[in-house]
Every structure is written in structure tokens, then in C-alpha cells.
Structure 1
Amino acid sequence: MWKHVAANGLSFLIVAFIAFAAAIGWGQREFTTSGPLQQAIFFEVERGASLRSVSEGLAEDGAISSPMVFRLGADYTGQAGELRFGNYEIPAGASMAEILDIVTSGAASTFRYTATFVLRNQGTGEMRLRERVPGTGEIIELATFAYEEEVPEIYRELTGSDAQVVYRVSVPEGLTSWQIVEGLNQAEFLSGEVPELPQEGMLAPDTYEVERGADRQELLARMQAAQEEVLTAAWEARADDVPLDTIEEALILASIIEKETSVPEERGRVASVFENRLNRGMRLQTDPTVIYGVTNGRGVLGRGIRQSELRDDNPWNTYVIDGLPITPIANPGRAAIEAALNPDETDYVFFVADGTGGHAFAETLEEHNRNVARWRQIEAEREASATE
């Protein structure tokens, strides 16, 4: 009898082992083979989400066939505790193993809808609403509008729904602190007041990702911290012979460079002109400093500079004062700051617009006068063609 019981017990163990092995094999195949998702989707892992809630959410969205297998696979691979919150693009047909790698990668979030608020120099801004098509990555422009215009219905629908929309604030190089704050005050997706203007020059131009309802003052603090980091790194890497005694002077010169040219490859040459003039005791004589003295950085001048303004004795007018202005005249970007501290090596001391968006540089006044004459001829021809 005992032999019969032992034989039956052994048979049971063998059957159980085979069933267990079959289940393991099935689970591995389920975990690694292509999934049921017919087209790519965006999936959000919320901060603090559990593995169970994520697996069930993926199943509800049709991305996986078995939440249990997904969780067992995560346990088996050691990824169960490695979920990273964010928005992820899940490709069509992705296996559970591939999806698990995606949601534990910590890669930058990918959103279907992006609302980017681009600041402008009038102290206003322009909203650009875009959609990223899952699977293809194609970007579709849904709407572009200014807040003083009628807000498109699609923007109101998306921002009033559960749709995942990432908000960004884009700060171009060369805006003043007043222009930046005025623009932020127009952004309805931000909150909070700005009690005082930040120090001129100390806001880093960049694109900042924010949450809807983010505090304006906190965003400005991020910009200030970023600018301090850029300044410190550039100052430590400065050329030995730059005629700048302090990091504040570097910021002032960088702001002038930023306002004088928008051509990236010119920044080093423009910097060399100003530093050559400083070394020779020549006044900088740069129009943007005159404009800042007139507007105090609030808005745009919107007209030509008057002779009386060129002679006005204020601490920004480099036609009147020696050396640098008393403060920066805008918020310069990284490239302008680096150019101020590592200028090109040239003998240029003059430059003037060349009609192409760039500038013509000169080492002598005679050469500069010829460049000025060419520029005036170009202006005259443009005016004549405009009146035809």
C-alpha cells in the first residue's frame, strides 16, 4: 500500500512540476511577446503610483493583456520598485517587458499636447498649441494666438478637460526683466503676483516646463538660479586678458552683445570690438544703451533715436559715459555671456549693419565710413522700392 501511495505522490509531484514549468513558460512568453496595442498611446505614471495601479491602467488602455503577468515580470526582473513618474509614449505592439522598461527608465516625459507660451519684447506673449501624434512623432500645429486675441475653442476644450497638456514658457534672449514679468503676468495658466522686478540681466533665457497653476515668482527664481549657474561657469572659464574686473561687468557687456546681434557667429567679433574699445579708452557708442536709457527697459522705443537722446547724460548712454553702463540693458543668453568672457581675437573697433541681418566690421575709421556709406545706400534703395 505504501508503495502505491508513494507512486501516486510521485506522479502528482511530476504533474505539478510539469504544470508549474508550463505556467512559467507561458508567463515568459506572455511577458516578452508583442502586446495587443493596435496604435501607440501616451500613458501617465502618476507620482507615487503603485505597480498594481500602473498594471491595471495599462490593461484598461489595451496595452497589456494581463496585469498579473506584468507584475510578476516586474518582480522577476527586479524592476517592481523602479517605477518613474511621468508621461510615456507606448509604441503599438510593445511587449510587457518593453513597456516595463519604458515606465522604469526615467526618460524625459513625452506629452501628446504641448502649450508653449513664447514671450515677446512688447511685454506680451504668444501661445503655441501643438499635438504630437503617437507612434509617428509628427507634430501638428493646432493653434497660435496672443491672449489679447480671441482664445481658440480647441485650447479652451483641452485645458478644461482631462487631456495631458504640458505647459512651457519660452524666454528669448535679449528681453528686459520688465518685458519678461509683463509677459508672465499675461499667462493665464500661471498664478501669483510678482512684487518687484528681478535684477536686470539675471534671468536666463530658455524654455521652462511648468505645471498649470505654477507660481510666477517661483518660475522667476528658477530663471535666476539658472543665470547664476551660467555666469559662474563662464566666469571661471574666462580668457586671461578680458578687460572686465567683475562678474557684474561681464553680465553688462554680455547684455550689450545680445542686443547688438542675433547672428550666432558674430557674437565673438562684436565682443572683440567692445573689448578693443575698452582697452583703448574709447567710448562704446552703442545704440541699444541709448534706447535703454530712454525706455528704462519698459517696452520698445518704436522709432529712431533722436539727436537729443544721443547727447542725454544718463548712466546707460555710452555715447556720453566712459566704460560700461551702470547695469545690464537686457537678459543675455549663455552664448552672449561666453562671448563677453572669451571674445574673438581681432583688431576691429567699429561695426555697422551690412543689410543682410549681420554687420560689417572695420579696424579703421576710414574703412568704417565706407561701410556706413554702403549701409546708407542700402537703406535708401529699400525706401525707394517701398514707395514704388
Structure 2
Amino acid sequence: MTEREDREPERSHYIVRGIKRLFALVVVVALLAVGGVGYGWHLFVKEGPLDDARQLVIPRGASIDQIADALAKEGVIESRFVFVNWVRVLGTQSRLRAGEYRFPKRVSAQDTMNILISGRQIQRRFTIPEGLTTYQVLERVKKVEGLEGELTETAGEGELLPDTYTFTLGETRNGVVQRMKRAMEDALDQAWAQRAGTDGPLKDKRELLILASIVEKETGEGAERPMVAGVFVNRLKKNMRLETDPTVIYGITEGKGALGRRLLRSDLEKPHPYNTYKIQGLPPGPIANPGKASLLATIKPAQHNYIYFVADGSGGHVFAETLDQHNKNVAKWRQFRREKERDEKNDKPEKKQN
């Protein structure tokens, strides 16, 4: 056997050992890589550092790095590095949406990502009560925090439905007013569809809106609305003047606010299109924005024979079929008002004389 032949087994032995070592090294590197990925995933899905829920605004056009910086600064995520890299690995960076979000206590980085993908922003809200004029409604919309842009959208009297409206940060004032107009159109359509027959005094949805606005201003008691509507329907059927104070007030103020004083007899004598003590039938337009309840009460009024009503001193009204009974009710109301004014005067402290 030659010397070369003697060395062949030894060389083969070293080659095998080298291959085994290389394989072991590859296995170790792979295990470390897998372990690193596994640990990184653990950091991504584990509970976050937030002790309490927190709100945060993600601005439009923010990059993934800017979003991560904001989340880390507010304590929503523990590691911006983990958040950024997993978002990139998962390919979701382009799906993160701007807006105002609420992050719950202990939210994980993964759930934080999912919240931003979902676009489930905080729902802000504001309420428009029944009976405001369009001028008053628009003034309120101008002051709602969270809405953007100058209000340039216009609306006629009675065109905005009173309701509670939700919106997300950054919605425009014009957009909200457009929604309110569509809501009133829908409410009018729904109410008009419930009319019983075609023999009533209201010819179309416009007249329904006008009378419903008067009902809205005459009573704040929900149970009374059909009763009040019934009185006006009865008067229209009898070709009687409506003789309702809120229309006179609207003609004086033009819907810009409260009258600020008691209505005078001289006010009832001044002729203008909204003075229902002087004109026959309905005024030329609504005097406020009625709610759904007043629309329904007006299209389906209570069936009775009353043609008069007056305040009863408790926030409601007392109704009458005859002028004689109505005059007695008015006398009681005036007596109640005099006594109330006297009591209020007596309760005022006397001014000290110098």
C-alpha cells in the first residue's frame, strides 16, 4: 500500500467531520433565526404597556415611522422597532388609516395595527333639539368641535332634521348639514306615507312641514302634539284662522332668536305674512325645524272636536270646543300668571337705601 493510499481514509474522515460541523452550524443559525423571529412575534402580540385607554389622532399622510413614533410617545406600543418591522413584514403599512382612535388598556402592537387598519374611529356626536330655526341650527354647527371647514352650505327654514348626529374628526361642516337635509327629506317622506286618505286639509309635504313646525313650537309635551295638531286641523277644516302666537313671533324675529319680551296685543294687529291672526290658512313657510314626532303627530292628529287651547300653567295646555269655555280657560291662565308674577316680585330682596 502506498503512502497516498494510507492517507485517503484520514482525508475522508476530515471531510465528513467538516460537513457535520457545517451542518451543525447551519442548524444552529437556523434555530437562532427561528428563535429570533419567534421572540419578535411574541413582542408583537403580547400585552402592551398602556395602563389606561387612550385616544390618539393619526394625521393624514403620516408615514409608518411617524405613526410608530406617535404610538410609542403616547405609550401605546413598547417598541417602535417591533411595530414598524412587523407591519412591513405583513405588508399592511399602506392600509393604516388616519383618524382619531381609542386604544384600549394593554392593547398589543398587533391589535394596535388592526385598529388602524379597521378605520373604526372615535364617533363624536352633537344634538340638535327640536324647534330651533335654521339660523339657530347653523350657528350651532359652526361651533361644533371636531368639524372642519367654513360653513357655506345653506338651508331653508324647516329643512334640517333635529336629531343626534355622529361624525368622525375631520368631517366637514358642509357635509354634516347636507346629511341633515337628507334626513329631513327622508323623515318627511316617511311621515307623508302614513297619511290616512286624501281628504285632509294638507295638500302636500310642504304644508305638512309648515304645520308640523307650528305644532313643534306650540308644545314641548310629546303626548300633547297629536292634540295640538288636531286643533289646527279642525280650524283649517272650518276655514278658521290658526291664530297661533309662535308664527307672529317668527314674523317679528325672522327666526334669529327669542323675542325677549311678552307678545303684545299690538303685535297681533300688525299685518305680515306670518301673522296667523290676520291671514287665512297656513303661513308661507315653516317657522322652525320640527322633529319626527311632530311630523307624525301632524299627519296623524288626534280625532276630537277641540278648536281652542291655552297654557294651563303646568307646562301643558287645556283644550276647549267652544269660545265661551276657552275664554274661561284664558281667564284662569291670566290669573295664574298674575299670581306667579306677584310671588316672584315678593321673593326678590329689597334694595338697601343709601
The normalised TM-score by structure 2 is: 0.74
Match of 1:307 in 2: 265
Partner Cα distance (2:62, 2:76) in 1: 17
Query: In 2, are the aligned partners of 1:40 and 1:90 still within 8 Å (CA)?
Result: yes
Name which of structure 1's ranges 96-105 and 280-289 shifts more when overlaid on structure 2.
96-105
Identify the residue that residue 8 of structure 1 maps to in structure 2: 21
Go from structure 1 to structure 2 and tell me whether the alpha carbon gap of 1:382 and 1:222 turns closer, same or farther (over 3 Å shift): same
Distance 1:225 1:387 in 2: 48
- Cα separation, partners in 2 of 1:273 and 1:103, compared to 1, 3 Å: farther
* 1:235 paired to 2:176: no
Q: Does 1:284 align with 2:297?
A: no
Q: How far is 1:280 from its partner?
A: 3.7
Give SS of 1:276's match.
helix
Equivalent pair of 1:47/1:85 in contact (CA under 8 Å) = yes
State yes or no: 1:176 paired with 2:133: yes
Alignment of 1:25-40 (within 5 A): 25-40=38-53
Q: Report the count of equivalent residues.
A: 330
Q: Is 1:337 the equivalent of 2:295?
A: yes
The reply on whether 1:202 has 2:159 as its aligned counterpart is yes
The change in CA–CA distance for 1:12 and 1:349 in structure 2 (over 3 A counts) is farther
8 Å Cα contact 2:121/2:168 also seen in 1: no
Partner Cα distance (2:30, 2:94) in 1: 30
Q: Which residues of structure 1 form unaligned runs of 5+? A: 112-167
Asked if residue 100 in structure 1 is aligned to residue 58 in structure 2, the reply is: no
Q: Are the aligned partners of 2:126 and 2:144 in contact in 1 as well (CA < 8 Å)?
A: no
**Contact 1:201–1:255 (CA under 8 A) maintained in structure 2:** yes
Q: Give the fraction of aligned pairs with identical amino acids, expressed as a percent.
A: 41
Question: Over aligned residues, Cα RMSD in angstroms?
Answer: 3.9
Distance 1:245 1:29 in 2: 70
Q: CA deviation at 1:256?
A: 0.7
- Aligned pairs for 1:131-280 within 5 A: 171-179=128-136, 198-205=155-162, 223-240=180-197, 243-280=201-238
Does residue 51 in structure 1 map to residue 9 in structure 2? no
Residue type at the aligned position of 1:70: F
User: Does the CA contact (< 8 Å) of 2:100 and 2:169 recur in 1?
Assistant: no
Displacement, 1:109?
2.5
Per the TM alignment, residue 274 of structure 1 is displaced from its structure 2 partner at its CA by: 1.9
Q: What TM-score do the two structures reach when normalised by structure 1?
A: 0.69
Q: Following the alignment from structure 1 to structure 2, what is the Cα–Cα distance between the partners of residues 219 and 49?
A: 26
Partner AA of 1:341 in structure 2: I
Consecutive unaligned residues in structure 2, runs of 5 or more = 1-11, 347-354
Separation in 1 of the partners of 2:329 and 2:48?
67
Contact 1:169-1:210 at 8 Å conserved across structures:
no
Alpha-carbon distance in 1 for matches of 2:38, 2:148: 52
Distance in 2 of aligned mates of 1:75 and 1:210: 27
Q: Choose 1 or 2 for highest CA Rg.
A: 2
Of the two structures, which has the highest relative contact order with CA contacts closer than 8 Å and spacing of 6 or more? 2
More helix per residue? 2
1:294 lines up with 2:252 in the alignment: yes
Aligned: 1:83 with 2:96: yes
* 2:102 match: secondary structure: strand
Residues 100 and 168, structure 2, Cα contact 8 Å, conserved in 1? no
